[in-house]
């Protein structure tokens, strides 16, 4: 079903088109219409299925930009999900001049208080911060016409259910409620019975991972190690087409620019790009003029690209369904693929949750050393030189060739050529730090299995004497690495 088939106003349709979406996902196809009709909806679906647009489009259709008070409230369990919802609602509603304010704990509350004083039609927030703002009298809910509860079961698990009841009790009785949850436990069902009126029940089946052709790995590294670690894996993997997934549009832009700085063929794809930019990037990637695409989950939704050989999860996804969605980009049409997830020690619980869903354990992978990275680059450079030698039209350069041959030895010329093809790790690359996801509740000792990481494989899947990750390096070495980028190792290759 296409978005134009819904009775949406033109600004919303234009925004959807601007984001590059035509076909509605299953949750959108079944939720938008009853939402537009003002019905309450109880949606059972995972994150990564397009829920934000499913509740966002009906919500934004109803909101009037002429009224300067909150008309819709979206509650999310975590800061990350609140930010994600707020960003996508902005992209959907900005052509209608709808102002969205996102509030959450851990951020400057004075700034949020100031934001709420301005004309605001939609508020997105986490339960604790919303209650704080309500108690301060900064957030008025008496005109709210639409309430959205996103990831209700997650809020239940995190102990927010009483906060949710408090917030819902402060809302007008006459309102529309859209509740989304991956599962519907008894407590959520009671919530729906108490606060919803004859809701339409929409249930979307879980995505099934068929990963026979996808080799799934993870590597343990800290935030400040990620970019160098990614670079080294790219050097030894030599991906034909790779997608790197990052959590925010800012990180997407910085990672893409950092890769370009180091000599990789990369571009970013995120929700702030207009349709022309998006189409240009995708065209280059599909035509293999571009080998690395860095993207957010939202921007990559709906992409159908053949030939992707590697998927790198620079930031581990918060929910397992997004992981399934990400790595499903590779291993298609009978071809093999490789997925590699970068995970901080605090995030191991999320990795174990993903393994529980996929029924497959990821294999730990040791990051390549500087020398292994350089060796990979030299192998790649030799292949590039072989390709260059296929060009035999040298008549225009005979004089220059004679000059070089007389001035330098064959070994000196070959060394200079290789040096020009080796990436410069001395170039400083700055990636804005992002906090690891908070440890999941009830994780198995923070997600670690005894002895599992001790059997970490080498990057090339062969056994190695070196089983430690960068996390296990001496503190002194970590500190020096944080202070300065890793220097290029000296080559152990002799060109004859």
Q: How many CA atoms lie within 13 A of 250 on its CB side?
A: 8
pLDDT interval class at 200 (50, 70, 90): very high
Structure tokens at 9: 């106003």
pLDDT at 460 over 50: no
Question: pLDDT tens-digit profile of 249-269?
Answer: 889 999 999 999 988 999 998
What sign does the CA torsion over 454, 456, 457, 459 have? negative
pLDDT at 300 over 80: no
Q: What pLDDT was estimated at residue 35?
A: 95
pLDDT at 214 over 50: yes
DSSP annotation of 204: -
Structure tokens at 342: 């970068």
pLDDT at 431 over 70: yes
Strands 41-44 and 200-203: parallel
Mean pLDDT of 480-489: 34
pLDDT interval class at 78 (50, 70, 90): confident
Beta bridge partners of 101: 123
Mean pLDDT of 381-391: 70
pLDDT interval class at 48 (50, 70, 90): low
Give the distance between the most distant pair of CA atoms in the chain: 89
Give the residue, 458 or 91, on which the prediction is more confident: 91
pLDDT at 430 over 70: yes
Give the residue, 54 or 483, on which the prediction is more confident: 54
pLDDT interval class at 37 (50, 70, 90): very high
Tokens 């202070």, residue located: 483
Give the residue, 222 or 453, on which the prediction is more confident: 222
Q: What pLDDT was estimated at residue 154?
A: 86
- The answer to whether 272 and 336 are in contact (CB under 8 A) is no
Q: 480: exposed, middle or buried (C-beta count within 10 Å: 0-12, 13-18, 19+)? A: exposed
Mean pLDDT of 272-285: 82
| Sheet containing strand 337-343, strands side by side | 266-269, 292-295, 242-245, 310-313, 337-343, 214-220, 363-364
pLDDT at 168 over 50: yes
Among 107, 493, 50, CA closest to 298: 50
Give the residue, 382 or 199, on which the prediction is more confident: 199
pLDDT interval class at 69 (50, 70, 90): very high
Q: How many CA atoms lie within 13 A of 209 on its CB side?
A: 25
Contacts with 123 (C-beta within 8 Å, 6 or more apart), sequence order: 70, 72, 73, 74, 100, 101, 102, 103, 116, 130, 139
Least trusted range by pLDDT, from 9-13, 85-89, 139-143, 208-212 = 208-212
pLDDT at 472 over 50: no
Structure tokens at 280: 């240009």
pLDDT interval class at 407 (50, 70, 90): confident
DSSP annotation of 422: S
**What does the CA dihedral 314, 320, 326, 328 come to, rounded to 10 degrees?**
140
What sign does the CA torsion over 180, 184, 187, 190 have? positive
Q: What pLDDT was estimated at residue 394?
A: 67
Task: Write the DSSP string, 235-288.
Answer: HHH--SSEEEE-SSHHHHHHHHHHHHHTT--EEEE-TTS-HHHHHHHHHHHHTT
Question: pLDDT tens-digit profile of 321-362?
Answer: 778 878 888 877 667 889 999 999 889 988 998 888 788 889
pLDDT at 176 over 60: yes
Task: Write the DSSP string, 310-344.
Answer: EEEESS--SSHHHHHHHHTTSS-TT--EEEEEEE-
| Whole-angstrom distance, CA of residue 315 vs CA of residue 247 | 6
Q: What pLDDT was estimated at residue 490?
A: 33
Report the share of the chain in percent with pLDDT over 70. Answer: 80
CA distances (Å), origin 45, targets 143, 153, 189, 207, 312: 28, 11, 15, 10, 25
pLDDT interval class at 277 (50, 70, 90): confident
Structure tokens at 15: 């925004």
pLDDT interval class at 220 (50, 70, 90): very high
Question: pLDDT tens-digit profile of 97-127?
Answer: 999 999 998 888 889 999 998 889 999 999 9
pLDDT interval class at 450 (50, 70, 90): very low
* Predicted TM-score of the model (pTM): 0.54
Cα 307 versus chain centre, distance: 20
Among 7, 63, 15, 65, CA closest to 36: 7
Q: What pLDDT was estimated at residue 126?
A: 94
pLDDT at 33 over 70: yes
């Amino acid at each position: 079903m296409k978005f134009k088939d819904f009775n949406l106003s033109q600004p919303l349709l234009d925004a959807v088109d601007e984001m590059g979406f035509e076909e509605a996902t299953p949750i959108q196809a079944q939720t938008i219409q009853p939402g537009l009709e003002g019905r309450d909806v109880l949606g059972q679906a995972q994150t990564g299925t397009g829920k934000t647009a499913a509740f966002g489009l009906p919500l934004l259709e109803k909101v009037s930009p002429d009224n300067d008070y909150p008309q819709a409230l979206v509650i999310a369990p975590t800061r990350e999900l609140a930010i994600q919802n707020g960003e996508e609602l902005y992209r959907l509603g900005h052509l209608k001049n709808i102002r969205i304010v996102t509030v959450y704990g851990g951020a400057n509350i004075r700034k949020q208080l100031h934001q709420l004083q301005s004309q605001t039609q939609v508020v997105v927030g986490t339960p604790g911060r919303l209650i704080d703002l309500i108690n301060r009298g900064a957030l008025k809910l008496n005109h709210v016409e639409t309430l959205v509860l996103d990831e209700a079961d997650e809020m239940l698990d995190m102990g927010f259910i009483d906060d949710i009841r408090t917030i819902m009790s402060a809302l007008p009785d006459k309102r529309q409620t859209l509740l989304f949850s991956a599962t519907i436990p008894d407590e959520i069902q009671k919530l729906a019975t108490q606060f919803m009126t004859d809701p339409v029940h929409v249930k979307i089946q879980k995505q099934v991972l068929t990963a026979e052709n996808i080799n799934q790995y993870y590597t343990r590294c800290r935030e400040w190690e990620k970019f160098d670690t990614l670079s080294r894996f790219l050097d030894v993997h030599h991906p034909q087409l790779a997608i790197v997934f990052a959590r925010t549009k800012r990180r997407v832009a910085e990672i893409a620019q950092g890769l370009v700085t180091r000599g990789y063929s990369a571009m970013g794809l995120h929700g702030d790009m207009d349709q022309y930019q998006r189409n240009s990037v995708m065209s280059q990637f599909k035509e293999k003029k571009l080998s690395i695409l860095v993207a957010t989950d939202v921007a990559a939704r709906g992409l159908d690209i053949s030939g992707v050989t590697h998927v790198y999860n620079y930031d581990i996804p918060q929910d397992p369904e997004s992981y399934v969605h990400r790595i499903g980009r590779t291993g298609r049409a009978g071809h093999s693929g490789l997925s590699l997830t970068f995970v901080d020690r605090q995030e191991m619980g999320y990795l174990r949750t993903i393994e529980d869903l996929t029924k497959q354990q990821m294999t730990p992978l040791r990051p390549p050393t500087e020398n292994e990275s350089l060796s990979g680059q030299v192998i790649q450079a030799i292949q590039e030189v072989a390709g260059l030698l296929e060009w035999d039209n040298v008549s225009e350069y005979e004089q220059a060739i004679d000059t070089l041959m007389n001035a330098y030895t064959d070994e000196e010329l070959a060394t200079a050529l290789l040096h020009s093809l080796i990436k410069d790790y001395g170039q400083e690359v700055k990636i804005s730090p992002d906090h690891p996801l908070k440890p999941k509740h009830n994780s198995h000792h923070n997600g670690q299995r005894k002895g599992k990481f001790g059997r970490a494989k080498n990057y090339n899947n062969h056994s190695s004497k070196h089983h430690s990750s960068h996390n296990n390096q001496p503190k002194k070495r970590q500190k020096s690495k944080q202070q300065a980028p890793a220097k290029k190792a000296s080559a152990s290759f002799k060109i004859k």
